[in-house]
Structures are given as structure tokens and as C-alpha cells.
């Protein structure tokens, strides 16, 4: 995995990537193994019974839901072999004796080639049903349907939208091949969106989750592309003299902020997603790179060495005064803003270690969230409650996820690939 120092200079001087079709990967390359390293202090105990009439007979739906909730760190899942339907009376005393504050049960059925999931979430303390709902899915989308059930349970019990039915992007490498892979939030159902013999960094999701921007060196120079994941069509958004790097989407999905070095020092520009109407964000002549839009679309956070070493700054999206944001530590890079605009995450070098930090912008309170020696590329979950980043253990890179309060964490380990540069995708319908 490239060091944060190298990553900073790669993004300011040249970003790299790869391109190809949508190729399926073998299971060994595609899937990631989840390892839960820590859990929250105040977990909600929830019993998940077996669903009635499971047409597959393998309890896949309940296993996916349980894994999602357990991985979040907010739930203590109580597995049960008891069958629980979405209708009828719930024996609150029985489930409370198992230590459950809530119980989930349901029914699976197959009709017209699709699988229907009916489920009920019951509060055993109050003796009331919190939700009773259902959805249908084609068999190939049963994992997504199970993630959506887990999202509903998560929201009903925490008041926060669940992040499970979302996707992630990351860069994988096997030998001399680099791939930009797309996967479910738990690392399953991965496929290679791009592959090449040249490296790739800086994947960035469009706000609707339909496209990914990236930088490719397949033309022997760094070029920013936008690719539609469904149609495989791509266009070159920035192919100017010098470095074209670090794409970041505006919240409305119409423009990209990019870092260009066509006139010497790397400067931030914006451009339409079809490559038209390039504009430099007016300001200073120092190096400016790694831009990211605030949720209001009016503010840009970015990395610059104005103060003599890399720090995070902000400015209006149309230019103007630059204001420094990070003051602790002499080296802070890779800004990522939370979906509500309240938190800033970044990589900070302290005592020779590169680690993930989060800053509460209103209060200025800063917290360290990771403890690896060479962590990089923080990316917020779309609900703002988790941050995914690249790390390494025993010299092997992996992806890690930590809650913004630092209370829970887990890792996604590739079975056969080195992985880095994660980007957590947006909510989709």
C-alpha cells in the first residue's frame, strides 16, 4: 500500500487508474472476509429467529441480517433456532428470558420466480410491534433485499438510517493487474469495474451511485474519467497538459472538482461531468489538491502546503479567502466531510504514524479513530456514522471500518488481493 506521503504527492502531481469492462471475478478474488475487532459499549440485544418456509432452506436471509447488525457494533445478536412468523402472538416472556429486548421473525415464500420476504420486529419490553413489512426480490438480488431488511431494523431501533444496502469501491491488486472493484457494503458480490496493468487511485462515487470518477494512466498520462457502471460508457473529463487528478463530485452531481497542474503548480478546478466548462477556482498560486465538496455545495475542503506543510483548508467553491481547518500535527491530508457537514475526517501523521482522525467542526474537538502505522483514504458511510479507510496488518493491506465515536470497528480482508483506496457509495433506492 502506498504511503500517505506518496499518496499526497501522487494526487498533487499525478493520479493513476485503469479501465476495462465489467468483468466477473472468481470467488477467491471477489469476496472479502469480515472480522469484527471491537463492538460498542451499549448494544441492543436482538433475537433473530429462523424465517418460516425458507425456499432455499439455508437461512441465508437471517444470516445476512444478523451479520449486518452484528457488524455495526450497535447490536448483540441472539441467534435462535426457533421459528418466528411475522403474524400471530409473540411470547414476550420467552424472548425476554433469552435476554432479548427485540425479536425479529418472518416468512419467506416464492412466487412468479421471485422471493418474498415478510418480517416483523417486535419490542419485547413494551409488548408492541415496531414494524411489520415485506419486499420481493429476484433470487439474484436476495442479498440486497436482506440488507434492506437490516437497514429497516437498524433505523427502527436507532433512529438512524442503516448503511447496509449500499456499495463500496476500492482498488485491488493481484500481481501486475490493478482493478477498481465494486462490492456490497459487506464486501460480497464484488466485480471489477476497471482493470489494467497500470495503477488506479481516487475512485469517487456520483451522488446517485450510478457513476464512478477515477484517474487512469492507460494513456501513459493521468486522465480523469467518468464511467457509467450500468452501460460501461466512459468519457474523459480532464485530459489536459500535466497532471489531472483527485476527482470529487458536487452534491448535485453536475460538476467535478479536480486538481490540475497544467500551468505549473497543482490548482483546483471545477468542470462539468461531460468535460465542458472548465473553471479554475481563483486564489493563491500554492499547491492545492484533494478537493472535496461540503454537502451545501458552496464550500470546498482541500489539502495545501500554504503553511509550510500539508494541512486541510477550506474556501468557497467559487474561490475567495482560504481558511485553515487543521492545526494539530504538522501533516494532515485526505479530507473527507460527513454527509451532514458536521465532521471532517483526515489522515494525520503523529509520531511517525499515519492515522485516521475526525474533527467536530463546530467545537474543534478532535479524536483519533485508528491505530495503524500507515492508514489512509478515509471515507464516510452515507449515514455519517462510520468511516472506512485503508490500513495494513502484518504487512498485508486491508479495509477497516470504525464508528465515528470510535466505539466499534471491523475489517474487510481480501482473500487473494491487496486492497486500498476505499470509497463508500451513497444511499440509493
**In the predicted model, is pLDDT for residue 328 greater than 80?**
yes
Looking at residue 1, its pLDDT comes to 47
pLDDT of residue 80: 84
**Sign of the torsion formed by the C-alpha atoms of 408, 414, 419 and 421:** negative
Kindly state the percentage of the chain with pLDDT values over 90. Answer: 68
- pLDDT tens, residue by residue, 206-244: 999 999 999 998 888 899 999 999 998 999 999 999 899
pLDDT at 18 over 60: no
Determine the average pLDDT of the residues in 297-314: 95
Ramachandran angles phi, psi of 323, nearest 5°:
-125, 130
Instruction: State the CATH architecture for 4-17+198-424.
Output: 6 Propeller (2.120)
Distance CA 163, CA 401 (A): 12
* pLDDT at position 7 over 80: no
- Per-residue pLDDT tens for 262-284? 877 899 999 999 999 999 998 77
pLDDT of residue 49: 85
Question: How does pLDDT run across 154-178, given as a tens digit for each residue?
Answer: 999 999 999 999 999 999 988 889 8
pLDDT at 374 over 70: yes
Residue 123 CB coordination number (10 Å): 17
| Gap between the Cα atoms of 197 and 17, Å rounded | 9
3-state SS assignment for residue 227: strand
Q: How confident is the model at residue 55 (pLDDT cuts 50, 70, 90)?
A: low
Q: Which of 11-25, 178-192, 226-240, 294-308 has the lowest mean pLDDT?
A: 11-25
Return d(Cα 243, Cα 230) in angstroms, integer: 28
Identify the band that residue 37 occupies on the pLDDT scale cut at 50, 70 and 90.
Answer: low
DSSP state, residue 193: E
pLDDT at residue 296 in the model: 95
DSSP state of 104: E
Predicted local confidence at residue 23, as pLDDT? 28
Is residue 27 very low, low, confident or very high in pLDDT (cuts 50, 70, 90)? very low
Pick the CATH number of 41-158 from 3.40.50.300, 3.50.50.60, 3.40.190.10, 3.40.50.10070: 3.40.50.10070
**Local confidence band at 363 (pLDDT 50, 70, 90 cut-offs):** very high
Write down the pLDDT at residue 263. Answer: 76
pLDDT confidence of 56, banded at 50, 70, 90? low
Crossing angle for the helix pair 60-72 and 142-158, to the nearest 10 degrees: 40
Euclidean distance between CA atoms 426 and 429, whole angstroms = 10
β partners of residue 256: 249, 271
Average predicted confidence (pLDDT) for the chain: 87
In the predicted model, what is the mean pLDDT of residues 74-86?
85
The domain ranges of the chain are 4-17+198-424, 41-158
Say whether pLDDT at 54 is over 70: no
Q: Cα 278–346–257 angle (5° rounding)?
A: 5
Q: What was the pLDDT predicted at 244?
A: 92
Q: How many angstroms separate the CA atoms of 163 and 353, rounded?
A: 30
Residue 68 in this model has a pLDDT that exceeds 90:
yes
Q: Is the pLDDT of residue 71 over 90?
A: yes
> Is residue 15 predicted with pLDDT exceeding 70?
no
Is there a contact between 109 and 119 (Cβ–Cβ < 8 Å)? Answer: no
Q: What is the pLDDT of residue 41?
A: 60
Residue 151 pLDDT > 60, yes or no?
yes
Q: Does residue 16 carry a pLDDT above 80?
A: no
Residue 225 CA to residue 20 CA, distance in Å, equals 12
* Alpha-carbon Rg for the chain in angstroms: 22
Percent of the residues in the chain that have a pLDDT greater than 70, as a whole number: 88
Q: Which is nearest to 280 in space by CA: 261, 254, 297? A: 261
Q: Which of 26-30, 127-131, 230-234 has the lowest mean pLDDT?
A: 26-30
Q: What is the pLDDT of residue 19?
A: 24
* Average pLDDT over every residue of 16-33: 36
4 pLDDT higher than 70: no
Amino acid at each position: 500500500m502506498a504511503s500517505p506521503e506518496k499518496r499526497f504527492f501522487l494526487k498533487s502531481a499525478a493520479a493513476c487508474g485503469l479501465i476495462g469492462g465489467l468483468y466477473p471475478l472468481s470467488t477467491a478474488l471477489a469476496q472479502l472476509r469480515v472480522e469484527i475487532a471491537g463492538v460498542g459499549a451499549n448494544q441492543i440485544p436482538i433475537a433473530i429467529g429462523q424465517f418460516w418456509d425458507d425456499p432455499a432452506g439455508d437461512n441465508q436471509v437471517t444470516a445476512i441480517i444478523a451479520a449486518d447488525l452484528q457488524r455495526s457494533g450497535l447490536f448483540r445478536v441472539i441467534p435462535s433456532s426457533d421459528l418466528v412468523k411475522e403474524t400471530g402472538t409473540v411470547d414476550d416472556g420467552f424472548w425476554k428470558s433469552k435476554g432479548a429486548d427485540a425479536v425479529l421473525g418472518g416468512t419467506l415464500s416464492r412466487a412468479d420466480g421471485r422471493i418474498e420476504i415478510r418480517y416483523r420486529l417486535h419490542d419485547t419490553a413494551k409488548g408492541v410491534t415496531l414494524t411489520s413489512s415485506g419486499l420481493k426480490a429476484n433470487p439474484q438480488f436476495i442479498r440486497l433485499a436482506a440488507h434492506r431488511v437490516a437497514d429497516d431494523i437498524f433505523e427502527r431501533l436507532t433512529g438512524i438510517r442503516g448503511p447496509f444496502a449500499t456499495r463500496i469501491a476500492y482498488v485491488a491488486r493481484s500481481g501486475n493487474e490493478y482493478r477498481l472493484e465494486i462490492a456490497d457494503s459487506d464486501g460480497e458480490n464484488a466485480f471489477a469495474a476497471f482493470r489494467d496493468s497500470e495503477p488506479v487511485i481516487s475512485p469517487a462515487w456520483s451522488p446517485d451511485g450510478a457513476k464512478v470518477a477515477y484517474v487512469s494512466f492507460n494513456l501513459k498520462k493521468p486522465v480523469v474519467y467518468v464511467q457509467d457502471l450500468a452501460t460501461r460508457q466512459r468519457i474523459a473529463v480532464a485530459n489536459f497538459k500535466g497532471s489531472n487528478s483527485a476527482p470529487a463530485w458536487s452534491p448535485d452531481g453536475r460538476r467535478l472538482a479536480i486538481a490540475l497542474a497544467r500551468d505549473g503548480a497543482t490548482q483546483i478546478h471545477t468542470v462539468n461531468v461531460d468535460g465542458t466548462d472548465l473553471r479554475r477556482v481563483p486564489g493563491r498560486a500554492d499547491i492545492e489538491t484533494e478537493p472535496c465538496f461540503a454537502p451545501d455545495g458552496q464550500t470546498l475542503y482541500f489539502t495545501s502546503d500554504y503553511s509550510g506543510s500539508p494541512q486541510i483548508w477550506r474556501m468557497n467553491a467559487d474561490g475567495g479567502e482560504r481558511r485553515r481547518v487543521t492545526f494539530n500535527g504538522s501533516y494532515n491530508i485526505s479530507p473527507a466531510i460527513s454527509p451532514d457537514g458536521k465532521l471532517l475526517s483526515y489522515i494525520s501523521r503523529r509520531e511517525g504514524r499515519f492515522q485516521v482522525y475526525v474533527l467536530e467542526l463546530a467545537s474543534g474537538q478532535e479524536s483519533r479513530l485508528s491505530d495503524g502505522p500507515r492508514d489512509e483514504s478515509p471515507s464516510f458511510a452515507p449515514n455519517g456514522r462510520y468511516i472506512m479507510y485503508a490500513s495494513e496488518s502484518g504487512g498485508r493491506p486491508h479495509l477497516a471500518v470504525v464508528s465515528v465515536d470510535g466505539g466499534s470497528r471491523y475489517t474487510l480482508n481480501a482473500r487473494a488481493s491487496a486492497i486500498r483506496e476505499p470509497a463508500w457509495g451513497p444511499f440509493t433506492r
